Chain A
Amino acid sequence: MKLAERMSSYEDMVGPGITACSGCNVELSMRTALQILGPNTIVAVPPGCMGGVQSVGWADKTGMKIPVFFPLLDNTASMLSGIKKYYERIGRDVNVVAFAGDGASVDAGFQALSGAAERGDNIIYICYDNEGYMNTGFQRSSSTSLGSWTSTTPVGDASHGKSSHKKDMPMIMAMHDIAYMATASPAYMPDLIRKIEKAKTIKDGLVYIHIYNSCTTGWGYPSEKSIDIVRKGVKSRFMPIYEVDHGKFKLNVDIKDPIPLMDYLSSMKKYKHLSEQQIEELQKYVDDKWKNLKTLCEVMG
């Protein structure tokens, strides 16, 4: 079946009319992922944008057709481990899934996620990385990139945005030797869809999917540019699209001729103050990470 036919055969699991911002590519990513994962799924949406937009529900109304719950900010993976262990115990194959932001994954929830990865618990953990705490007005997370303005790394005479690079979460998860790790982008939908479909078939360990999202209100760009922005992120090698399937590295979107990083950085407000030196540091970071990734794909491919 062709991709479009396949997708139209999957039902939307998320309620209509949730309150995400216009042009939010996280909502698109969540709908798509849950459409593929289907009705035999339990999903955790921790505090963050997607929890805030009432995908879990409001008062006595649910936001989804499938069982959905708010874990704490910092225990999504452990709660899912408990659910999965019980379903395994009673012999029922259920997709036990997280759809969690970078704050709940890379910061506060990291310990629980690392523990579940080390134990090899068979959960599907999807992190939507929009590089900060966006639903509370864009405070920095450890996934915020160098130089980025945030409300807690403001720009002034004495400060120039975030002073450190983002944590390389996909690589950290890959180094946990989990069953399947992949990065994905809403600008590369066929690749994202394939990866969620693949995640569904993994039964021998933890699946971690890192989606590079963006945020129209926090990052500062027109809502119709949501897909353009993340495509530029990929084409500039800032957001490398790859997977690690049982230890085998594979670059899924090879960017042979990257666009200048400035094309990406200059298309939003959060970087508009960047100095020459910060741009150089970011370029070096991107080049070094790309080189390392290419090497891993060659050596461990």
Chain B
Amino acid sequence: MSKKQVLNGNHAAAIGALLAKPDVVAAYPITPQTPLVEYFSQYVADGVMDSTIVEPESEHSAMSVLTGASLAGARTFTATSSQGLSLMFEPYFRASTMRLPIVMNIVNREMISPQTVWGGPQDSLTVRDAGWLQIYVEDNQEILDMNIQAFKIAEHKDVLLPINICYDGFYLSHMTEGVEVPDQEDVANFIPPYKPTHVKLDPETPMAVDPLTPGDYLQYYRELHMEAMDNAKKVIKEVNDEFAAKFGRDYFGLVEPYKMEDAEYVLVTLGSLTGSARIAVDLAREKGVKVGLVKIRCLRPFPKDEIVELLRDRKAIGVIDRNVSFGWHTGIVYQEIKSATSTLEAVPTIPFVGGLGGEDLTTDLMSEAIEKVLEVADNGSIENKAYWLINTKGR
């Protein structure tokens, strides 16, 4: 029997991973991920979890320990944030190119400078091309559920790639919500055991892993890696549907459309800011504005076909980015959306940026974004430069 608990996001992630029974866990504490590591340590201390915990001296080593454990055949789990992620970038990239299905939560936090600890997905979005699957979630239930699905997706024979479950620091990591916690046995039946043969260090079946490799082989590996990314789209949807059938919660796979059937205007969102955007959409609808919302869940692989279908024949689009792409003067998700919709007849698309460094993206700001989208649809003029959603100016 599942049970309802009041959980913060870190607790939800820890319980999700606990239910998936990883063999080896290695994590180095960093705000705002720290409580997640503490929950795990306590589970092991209390004897409710039999994972092997390694306490590394850095995030670089956390990822390296899991790389070794995964190469030996272990199911592995970790979590980090911002500076921790950037410290582990070297083994991070390598975990994907070695095709190791490590599950890592990224508790999204701004990148310094200036010194900051608050939420925002600048960290994980900056490493979006490192070959990992990246799923961005909206609330604590989704954190828990995706930590269960993550192992099944990553370890699938047609995928075999590491996966990030990304959730906003503090907004989700430290805020409590009611969360349905599934039964351990149901989860065990949902996730098959991990038995790797594609890459394994075992004296009984000796294998050289990563000998010096010339470019013709490397290109072939990259081709296979990109195919696995494509396969992941299908697998994520299948796992989503199977999960929905078994546990009763459907996240719509790669993207979640909200009030999109008749929508003329669209907001595109990612992460926890989707919540206030949904409310703004509802408020606009009450005034008769046909606005809808597309929540991107899967950023890697990027759901370009789904995006094209959802954004076809709309009057104007606004992309809300809680991050920046230096040099483009927009957010990162905006770039992704523009690339995906390049085959469509041009629709005015506004790059909104706001909520950086843990600033609130309020319903009022989301309503302002919708108004701006309507305005652009009318006059067709678009600056192709960030439109800032800000409460107060920090200067």
Name the interface size band of chain A: 35 or more
What's the nearest-Cβ distance from chain B to residue A61, in Å? 7
Per the 8 Å Cβ criterion, residues 102-117 of A in contact with B are: 111-112, 114-115
Complex interface: chain A residues within 8 A of B213 (CB):
58-59
| Interface window among B54-62, B172-180, B261-269, B359-367 | B54-62
What's the nearest-Cβ distance from chain B to residue A28, in Å? 21
The 8 A CB mask of B24-63 against A (1 = contact, 0 = none) is 1010000000000000000000000000101111101100
Tell me if A54 is interfacial: C-beta within 8 Å of chain B: yes
A111 engages B67 (CB within 8 Å)? no
| Interface window among B3-11, B70-78, B119-127, B246-254 | B70-78
A86 engages B61 (CB within 8 Å)? no
Tell me if A56 is interfacial: C-beta within 8 Å of chain B: yes
What's the nearest-Cβ distance from chain B to residue A280, in Å? 39
| Interface window among A36-44, A161-169, A187-195, A230-238 | A36-44
A72 engages B64 (CB within 8 Å)? yes
What's the nearest-Cβ distance from chain B to residue A85, in Å? 5
| Interface window among B155-163, B201-209, B222-230, B272-280 | B201-209
The 8 A CB mask of A66-96 against B (1 = contact, 0 = none) is 1111111011001111111111111000100
Task: Select from chain B the residue with minimum beta-carbon distance to A57.
Answer: B211
Tell me if A127 is interfacial: C-beta within 8 Å of chain B: no
A119 engages B24 (CB within 8 Å)? no
B211 engages A112 (CB within 8 Å)? no
Selected from B23, B52, B57, B67, the residue in CB contact (under 8 A) with A79 is: B67
B217 engages A82 (CB within 8 Å)? no
Which applies to chain A's interface (DSSP): helix, strand, loop or mixed? mixed
B68 engages A83 (CB within 8 Å)? yes
Tell me if A63 is interfacial: C-beta within 8 Å of chain B: yes
Once the chains are docked, how many angstroms separate the CA of A68 from the CA of B205?
11
Once the chains are docked, how many angstroms separate the CA of A230 from the CA of B351?
66
Q: A82-B72, A89-B52, A89-B74 are in contact. Are A62 and B60 (CB under 8 A)?
A: no
A119 engages B208 (CB within 8 Å)? no
Complex interface: chain A residues within 8 A of B57 (CB):
111-112, 114-115, 118
Which applies to chain B's interface (DSSP): helix, strand, loop or mixed? mixed
Per the 8 Å Cβ criterion, residues 204-242 of B in contact with A are: 205-214, 217
Selected from A60, A63, A67, the residue in CB contact (under 8 A) with B202 is: A67
Once the chains are docked, how many angstroms separate the CA of A84 from the CA of B52?
11
Q: A63-B208, A75-B61 are in contact. Are A82 and B68 (CB under 8 A)?
A: yes
What's the nearest-Cβ distance from chain A to residue B29, in Å? 14
Complex interface: chain B residues within 8 A of A72 (CB):
64, 90-91, 94
Tell me if A124 is interfacial: C-beta within 8 Å of chain B: no
Complex interface: chain A residues within 8 A of B210 (CB):
56, 69-70
Tell me if A64 is interfacial: C-beta within 8 Å of chain B: yes
Selected from B24, B69, B203, B211, the residue in CB contact (under 8 A) with A42 is: B203
A75 engages B60 (CB within 8 Å)? yes
B211 engages A86 (CB within 8 Å)? no
Tell me if A272 is interfacial: C-beta within 8 Å of chain B: no
A61 engages B211 (CB within 8 Å)? yes
What's the nearest-Cβ distance from chain A to residue B129, in Å? 19
A67 engages B65 (CB within 8 Å)? no
B52 engages A40 (CB within 8 Å)? no
B52 engages A86 (CB within 8 Å)? yes
Complex interface: chain A residues within 8 A of B61 (CB):
75, 78, 81, 111-112, 115
What's the nearest-Cβ distance from chain A to residue B60, in Å? 6
A78 engages B64 (CB within 8 Å)? yes
Task: Select from chain A the residue with minimum beta-carbon distance to B201.
Answer: A67
Tell me if B66 is interfacial: C-beta within 8 Å of chain A: yes
Complex interface: chain A residues within 8 A of B209 (CB):
67-70
Selected from B54, B72, B206, the residue in CB contact (under 8 A) with A87 is: B72
Selected from B24, B68, B71, the residue in CB contact (under 8 A) with A78 is: B68
Task: Select from chain B the residue with minimum beta-carbon distance to A52.
Answer: B212
What's the nearest-Cβ distance from chain B to residue A185, in Å? 29
Tell me if A203 is interfacial: C-beta within 8 Å of chain B: no
What's the nearest-Cβ distance from chain B to residue A50, in Å? 12
Selected from A59, A62, A87, the residue in CB contact (under 8 A) with B217 is: A59
Q: A67-B201, A82-B26 are in contact. Are A115 and B206 (CB under 8 A)?
A: no
Once the chains are docked, how many angstroms separate the CA of A69 from the CA of B217?
17
A86 engages B60 (CB within 8 Å)? no
Complex interface: chain B residues within 8 A of A119 (CB):
54-55
Of A41, A72, A78, A80, most B-chain CB atoms within 10 Å: A78
Once the chains are docked, how many angstroms separate the CA of A40 from the CA of B206?
10
What's the nearest-Cβ distance from chain A to residue B84, in Å? 14
Selected from A40, A70, A82, A121, the residue in CB contact (under 8 A) with B64 is: A82
Tell me if A65 is interfacial: C-beta within 8 Å of chain B: yes
Complex interface: chain A residues within 8 A of B207 (CB):
62, 67
What's the nearest-Cβ distance from chain A to residue B221, in Å? 11
Once the chains are docked, how many angstroms separate the CA of A86 from the CA of B65?
10
Complex interface: chain A residues within 8 A of B94 (CB):
72
Of B54, B67, B211, most A-chain CB atoms within 10 Å: B211
A83 engages B201 (CB within 8 Å)? yes
A78 engages B56 (CB within 8 Å)? yes
Of B23, B72, B214, most A-chain CB atoms within 10 Å: B72
B203 engages A41 (CB within 8 Å)? yes
The 8 A CB mask of B325-343 against A (1 = contact, 0 = none) is 0000000000000000000
Complex interface: chain B residues within 8 A of A86 (CB):
23-24, 52, 68-69, 72-74
Once the chains are docked, how many angstroms separate the CA of A114 from the CA of B56?
10
B23 engages A62 (CB within 8 Å)? no
Complex interface: chain B residues within 8 A of A88 (CB):
52
Once the chains are docked, how many angstroms separate the CA of A75 from the CA of B94?
12
B214 engages A66 (CB within 8 Å)? no
Once the chains are docked, how many angstroms separate the CA of A39 from the CA of B213?
25
Complex interface: chain B residues within 8 A of A68 (CB):
206, 208-209
User: 16 A-B Cβ contacts within 8 A?
Assistant: A57-B211, A62-B207, A65-B206, A67-B205, A67-B208, A69-B201, A72-B91, A74-B60, A75-B67, A81-B54, A82-B74, A83-B68, A111-B60, A112-B64, A115-B56, A119-B54
User: What 10 pairs between A and B have smallest CB-CB spacing?
Assistant: A82-B68, A57-B211, A115-B57, A62-B208, A78-B64, A82-B69, A75-B64, A69-B209, A79-B68, A78-B61
Known pairs A86-B73, A118-B57. 12 more at Cβ < 8 A? Answer: A42-B201, A58-B211, A66-B206, A67-B201, A67-B203, A68-B208, A75-B91, A80-B68, A82-B76, A83-B71, A83-B201, A86-B23
